[in-house]
Amino acid sequence: MIDDPILFEVIKNSLISSSREMSQALRRTAFSPNIKERRDCSCAIFDTTGRLVAQSKDIPVHLGAMPMSVKACIEQLGEEMVEDTMALLNDPFSGGSHLPDLTLVSPVFHRNERVAFTANRAHHADVGGISPGSMPGMATSIDEEGVLIKPRIIVRDGKLVKETIEDLLDSTRTPNERLGDLSAQIAANIVGGRRLQEVAKNHGWDIVTRTFYELRDYSAQMMKNAISELEGKDSEFVDFMDSDGVGNWRIPIKIKIKFEHKVISVDFEGTASQVLGNINCPLASTLSSIYYVFITIFGTGIPTNEGCWSILDVRVPIGSLLNPQYPAPVSAGNVETSQRIVDVALGALADIIPNRIPACSQGTMNNLTIGGIDYRTGKPFSFYETIGGGAGAIKGANGASGIQVHMTNTLNTPIEALEIAYPLCIRAYKIRQNSGGLGRWNGGEGIVREIEILADDCEVSIQSERRYLQPWGLQGGMPGKAGLNELEYQKTKRKLEAKTTIKTLAGTIIRIETPGGGGWGIPSKI
């Protein structure tokens, strides 16, 4: 199957390191703290049909979804994507995830022929919409969430054509930062293309593209081996979203998993229909979440590429919460609902392979956006972050505390970077003691984060989950504590909803306590 195992290994690793270098270029040249410090961005390399070949290990929810973006560009732009062009998109209904995630796709050419694609996705701090940060809690239509960009060429002859993104620059609150971050995204694809050409110079494009196929077959075969012992097993599970933020509560996500004929079939029949609020999860993000689960459980040592999910047959009912149609709002789906998809899939697998599945982790990303006018410069600002929490315990080990789980892995913004960039002051950032579920092995603990807003007339949006339904334990382990959002102004405290958008005055303190993870096994003493 593999022609030259050493060459295969060398090219495979060169491709992975090329995508890592793309990520580095993106982070190193970006302007917004969300990208340069939190690294809320991902890079990957694709074949000419948009299948994933190699990726840097960045943000899981981005990575599994990007192939659909590349495929959307190929379908909608086709031959328009000539040499030295790049296409931009964020359309959640064709390969996008939520509007702030801008994906940039570049073809790579050799002798006038397309031989590969490089692409990267970065979360921009503001793309317009009714509230700063473009994740409004009360939106009931995607039109309120910002500018929707269908695949379009924005770079020609290697240069950004500003006119092609006028709508974005007009609606964002921070156009200068957008331009800076976009040039970083352009840089990443340039670096990726250049590295690919170097690899091909050493080995020839024939060999490199042959390796694309070998890689896919290799990973597919490895995945098949990994699931072979589970043939015939099946299971189902249901869990709930707390709310959609506009009046709907306890929204079910149902999964059925079956290992048969060397394929894993995953069916979401029985999941709620799309809802009025913003927790609808675009198909690409739903698939991404499922890919993540099966890679972590069966494929940790396997190179991640399209081959890994060639053994998956995923059915998601059209018009459901996990495959919503226009004009459903989606801003929290990609970040919150994706975490619940992982929970239900792990819940189902826990019946089949109990010793390999961890208890429920915090199950949210605790999205916080704060926007307004920075009194120090007189200019608008838009701050976005997600906060870690407790990881679920697994047989043999306690869950980690204060850590990003499952579908995200963004870093925090260092306090010393954050306070330079924004009129904010971090008053506390520490472990939330005793918030993990007890068990034979204990769940990890959440985080307490307290931010004082120094500017007047700001708008704060919180999109969070697991504020009511606690992260469950497994095999007799106790659940982790639910999260808590609070506001303090002039010494008066007030509880905030799980999903909310509010106006604040200078001196307001936002306090977020993130959920703990579930415990595993019966605690030795209660």
Partner 1 sequence: MRTIGVDVGGTFTDIILFDSMSGKIAVHKIPSTPNSQDIAVVRGIEEILQREQIEPESIDSVVHGTTVATNAMLERKGARVGLVTTKGIEDVLEIGRQNRFDIYDIHASRPEPLVRRSDRIGVAERLDSKGIPLLELTEEEIKGAISRIKELDLQSIAISLLFSYQNPKHELQLLSRIKQETNLYTVASSGVLPEFREYERTSTTVLEAYLGPLVISYLEKLEDSLRTLCPKAKLTVMQSNGGTILCSETEGRTIGLAISGLAGGVIGGWNIGRNSGYTKSITLDMGGTSCDISSVVEKIIVRPDNDVEGLPIRVPAVDVKTIGAGGGSIAWIDEIGVLHVGPQSAGAEPGPAAYGKGGEKATVTDANLLLGRLNPHNFLGGRVPLDVVSSRDAIKRIAESLSLSIERAALGIIKISTTNMVQAIREVTVERGHDPRTFTLIPFGGAGPTQSCEIAEVLGINQVLVPPYPGITSAYGLIVADFRVDTMKSVMLTGKKEDEKIIQAVFVELKQKTITRLVKQGVDENSVRFELGIDMRYAGQSHELAVAVSDNSTDYLTSSRELFERIHEQEFGYRLPDREIEWVTVRVVGVAPQLGISKTEISQRKIKQNIHKRTVIMPDGKEYSTRIFQREGLQEGEVIEGPAIVEQLDTTIVIPPSWRAIQQKNGTMIIRRLST
Site for partner 1 in 404-423 (CB under 8 A): 404-405, 409-412, 414-417, 419-420
Q: Which stretch binds partner 1 (CB under 8 A): 16-24, 267-275, 310-318, 478-486?
A: 16-24
Q: State in angstroms the smallest separation of the CB of 262 from partner 1.
A: 22
Report the residue number, 57 or 494, with the smaller CB distance to partner 1: 57
Nearer to partner 1, 280 or 413 (CB): 413
Q: In a 3-state reduction of DSSP, which class is residue 405?
A: coil
Stretch that binds partner 1, among 127-135, 138-146, 175-183, 485-493 (CB under 8 A): 175-183
14-to-25, 199, 306, 463 alpha-carbon distances in Å? 16, 7, 18, 39
- β partners of residue 441: 520
Question: Which stretches of 253-317 are DSSP H helices?
Answer: 283-298
* Residue numbers 328-357 binding partner 1 by CB under 8 A: 356-357
Q: Nearest Cα to 53, choosing from 218, 288, 178?
A: 218
Q: CA angle at residue 325 from 322 to 331, to 5 degrees?
A: 65
The answer to the question of residue 104 lying near partner 1 (CB under 8 A) is no
Q: Does 139 bind partner 1 (CB under 8 A)?
A: no
Q: Two tokens at 50?
A: 């948009």
Contact between 299 and partner 1 per CB under 8 A: yes
Is 401 a residue that touches partner 1 (CB under 8 A)? yes
Q: Which one, 83 or 143, has the nearer CB to partner 1?
A: 83
Rule CB under 8 A: which of 429-458 touch partner 1? 429-431, 447, 450
Minimum distance from CB of 46 to partner 1 (Å)? 19
Question: Which residue of 3, 13, 503, 507 would you call a contact of partner 1, by CB under 8 A?
Answer: 13
Q: Which is nearer to partner 1, 158 or 319 (CB)?
A: 158
- Give min distance, CB of 444 to partner 1, in A: 8
Interface residues for partner 1 in 185-214 (CB under 8 A)? 186-187, 190-191, 194, 199, 202
Minimum CB distance to partner 1 smaller for 275 or for 295: 295
Q: Output the CA–CA distances (angstroms, integers) from residue 429 to 33, 399, 426, in the order listed.
A: 18, 19, 7
HSE-up of residue 526 (Cα within 13 Å, Cβ side): 11
361 lies in the binding site for partner 1 (CB under 8 A)? yes
Beta bridge partners of 489: 492
Of residues 498, 219, 524, the one with CA closest to residue 362: 498
Residue 464 is a binding residue for partner 1 (CB under 8 A) = no
The total of other beta-carbon atoms located within 10 Å of residue 296's CB is 15
Does 222 interact with partner 1 (rule: CB under 8 A)? no
H/E segment holding residue 242: strand 234-243
Q: CA 518, CA 502: separation in Å to the nearest integer? A: 31
Residue 488 in contact with partner 1, rule: CB under 8 A: no
* Ordered alpha helix ranges (H), 335-403: 338-352
CA 262 to CA 74: how far, in whole Å?
31
Only one of the segments 8-16, 112-120, 226-234, 481-489 lies at the binding site for partner 1 (rule: CB under 8 A); that segment is 8-16
| Contact positions with partner 1 (CB under 8 A) in 18-77 | 18, 25, 27-31, 33, 36-37, 57-60
Residue 168 or residue 186: which is nearer to partner 1 going by CB?
186
**Cα separation, 19 vs 119, whole angstroms:** 9
Beta-carbon count within 10 A of 264 CB: 22
Q: Does 400 bind partner 1 (CB under 8 A)?
A: yes
Question: Which pair of structure tokens corresponds to residue 266?
Answer: 């995953």
Q: Which is nearer to partner 1, 130 or 179 (CB)?
A: 179
Question: Which residue matches tokens 């009912």?
Answer: 317
Please name which of 218, 466, 280 lies closest in space to residue 365, comparing C-alpha atoms. 466
Smallest gap from Cβ 171 to partner 1, in A, equals 21
Query: With binding defined as CB under 8 A, does residue 508 bind partner 1?
Result: no
- Per-residue x/- marks for partner 1, 240-279, CB under 8 A? ----------------------------------------
Copy the structure tokens of residue 21: 């270098």
- Computed on alpha carbons and rounded to an integer, the radius of gyration of the chain in Å comes to 22
The position carrying tokens 């029949």 is 269
The DSSP 8-state label assigned to residue 163 in this structure reads: G
From residue 365 to residue 394, the character string flagging contacts with partner 1 as x (rule: CB under 8 A) and all else as - is ----------------------xx--x--x
